Amino acid sequence: DLLNIKVAIDGPAGAGKSTVAKELAKKLNFTYIDTGAMYRALTYKAIIENINVENRNKIVELASKIDIELKNDKVLLDGIDVTNEIRTPSISEKVSYISMIPEVREIMVKLQKRLSDKGSVVMDGRDIATVVMPDAQFKFFLTASPEVRAMRRYNELTSKKIPVKYDDILNDIRKRDKNDTERDVAPLKKADDSIVIDTTNMSIDEVVSKMYNIIANG
Ligand code: CDP
Ligand code: CDP
């Protein structure tokens, strides 16, 4: 179906998924859907409402009535722009505990599936090719070494004047990799039919071109 092309991008933190997905979506004139932003928005809401991320019942209750909208690169939580607030290290540190909860994933996946049926999309996350869009025509799995991923995130945060230490970022990335790949429900893993791109030594443009060529020729 030429009117409903789905591109799935999965991989660990800092592999370049969201940057590349955004560029690729622009080039293809597809809608970009950032699923990590949804888990982050829920985490943010839990924090401002003083709910402990380990209080599963409360988190599920919160998830069941959350209003998340992705609008032109902006993330709206209950109508309020939280695009920048959800990227801070304190959210990154807690989000993988929330995304482990099966009922939370069920709610998010339902929302994501609904979004994926509205025309052509590029969607990035951890379980997109395996769970959310198993029928995607194009599936990619981006990776890079943990050290390079941590350095990218370090550079990104320091350029935004957010004070961070490289070692803390590397530790967070290692812990999240572990939580995301070892959880019981929809763990981060490559789908059998995903194309792996190791971006360790690649620029953003190189990754985007590689993916674009695969899609344009496919
Ligand atoms: O940008 P970064 O890779 O650091 O994280 P993200 O894509 O914004 O995702 C944040 C967290 O949300 C991940 O570490 C996962 O725990 C969770 N997540 C998930 O479980 N499933 C998804 N489809 C997307 C994100
Ligand atoms: O979404 P994910 O966590 O996979 O990664 P990202 O947020 O898109 O990328 C993390 C940082 O790495 C961003 O600042 C990108 O500009 C940078 N990056 C890079 O330097 N080289 C790449 N090949 C990909 C991303």
Q: How far does residue 14's CA lie from ligand 2's centre (Å)?
A: 5
| Three state DSSP letters for 82-144 | CCCHHHCHHHHHHHHHHCCCHHHHHHHHHHHHHHHCCCCEEEEECCHHHHHCCCCCEEEEEEC
Tokens 């607030």 sit on residue: 85
Cβ of 126 less than 6 Å from ligand 1:
yes
Q: Please determine, for residue 56, whether its predicted confidence score (pLDDT) is greater than 70.
A: yes
Q: How far is CA 72 from CA 35, 46, 86, 111, in A?
A: 14, 24, 16, 17
pLDDT (0 to 100) of residue 195: 98
Cβ of 151 less than 6 Å from ligand 2:
no
User: What is the pLDDT confidence band of residue 187, given thresholds at 50, 70 and 90?
Assistant: very high
User: How big is the chain by its Cα radius of gyration, in Å?
Assistant: 16
The encoded tokens of residue 12 equal 């660990």
The encoded tokens of residue 30 equal 């597809």
User: Helix (H, G, I), strand (E, B), or coil: what is residue 200?
Assistant: coil
With the most atoms of ligand 1 within 8 angstroms of its CB, the residue from 38, 85, 87, 95 to mutate is 95
- ipTM for this prediction: 0.97
With the most atoms of ligand 1 within 8 angstroms of its CB, the residue from 75, 83, 126 to mutate is 126
Nearest ligand 2 atom to alpha carbon 12: 4
Rounded mean pLDDT, 181-190: 93
Q: How far apart are CA 21 and CA 30, in angstroms?
A: 10
User: What is the pLDDT confidence band of residue 1, given thresholds at 50, 70 and 90?
Assistant: low
Nearest CA to ligand 2 atom 14: 156
Q: At what angle do helices 89-98 and 35-48 cross, to 10 degrees?
A: 100
Q: How far does residue 36's CA lie from ligand 1's centre (Å)?
A: 4
CB burial of 148-158 (b: ≥16 within 10 Å; e: otherwise) equals bbbbbbbeebe
pLDDT (0 to 100) of residue 62: 97
The answer to pTM > 0.90 is yes
C-alpha 98 chain-centroid distance? 14
Nearest CA to ligand 2 atom 16: 19
Q: Which residues are annotated as a binding site?
A: 11-19
Within 10 angstroms of residue 203's Cβ, the number of other Cβ atoms is 10
Nearest-CA neighbor of 40 among 121, 112, 94?
A: 94
pLDDT digit string, tens, across residues 93-150: 999 999 999 999 999 999 999 999 989 999 999 999 999 999 999 999 999 999 999 9
